[in-house]
Amino acid sequence: MVANLASMKLVIGLGNPGADDEMKLVVGLGNPGVEYERTRHNVGFRVVDKLAARHGWKWNERRGRAILASGNLGLEKVVLAKPLTYMNLSGEAVGELVRWYKLQPEDVLVVYDELDLPVGKIRLRSGGSAAGHNGMQNIIRHLHTNTFPRLRIGIGHPTNSHIQGKDHVLSTPPLDERILLEQSEDRAVEAIELAITQGIATTMNLVNADPEEAKRKEEERQRKLKERQERERLKREKQRDKSQSTSGEDAE
């Protein structure tokens, strides 16, 4: 689906876009510090790290309270950002970047973890509420709007009812979950590339599609096609039999 984007070519161009330049800002949410690197809460950081590594972009710039990597994706200038404010104050860093680059909300894509999605699932939306995510709440407050795209990476709720949500997001998942998360991070990278080059609406249709539902729809389509072909075959046979019967009568 979006995996074909792996073959894309990229022209790298570093620098500060001006007000007249077209660009997109992709913000990965997380907490700075080695102790948080592998936690569930830092999935946003890992996604933008993977995107930068995929295209050879370097984290060699700092603007306000965020570190940046940048380049061009197709005809679009792209800036990746990792806020250094810690999760709950992410909006302070994002607000500074939006004002500096003179961006519209629709030019900002935020990538973050989502408790309400099963581990390994990803969902792309063009806007919406924070749904209890503190980092997103702070971004909405500083941008004064919730109408900006966001890519959510499922981390699932704790399976143990005694574990608090805060402890869950700030802990490192076990191996089986890590494998699922790494796979979803890779899909998220491809989704970001597609969203930038093809647009949010097109990408949502691909990324948010349920594979099982798509399989069921295809099976139903094939079943209806076979039924139609069978009806047409029977109709042709009936017409042929009628034609042969008429020919026989004429011969008599």
Q: Where is average pLDDT lowest: 90-99, 108-117, 167-176, 181-190? A: 167-176
- In the prediction, which pLDDT does 110 show? 98
**pLDDT beyond 60 at 20:** no
Q: Is 208 helix (H, G, I), strand (E, B) or coil?
A: coil
Report pLDDT digits (tens) over 73-131: 988 999 999 999 999 999 999 999 999 999 999 999 999 999 999 998 999 999 999 99
Catalytic residue, chosen from 41, 55, 133, 142, is 41
**pLDDT beyond 90 at 171:** no
Residue 41 annotated to the active site: yes
pLDDT band for position 248 (cuts 50, 70, 90): low
Contact 35, 24 (CB under 8 A): no
**pLDDT beyond 80 at 215:** no
- In the prediction, which pLDDT does 217 show? 64
Q: Where is average pLDDT lowest: 24-38, 184-198, 203-217? A: 203-217
**pLDDT beyond 80 at 245:** no
Sheet holding 150-154, edge to edge: 61-63, 66-73, 76-83, 23-28, 108-114, 150-154, 122-125
Contact 113, 152 (CB under 8 A): yes
| The amino acid at 102 | K
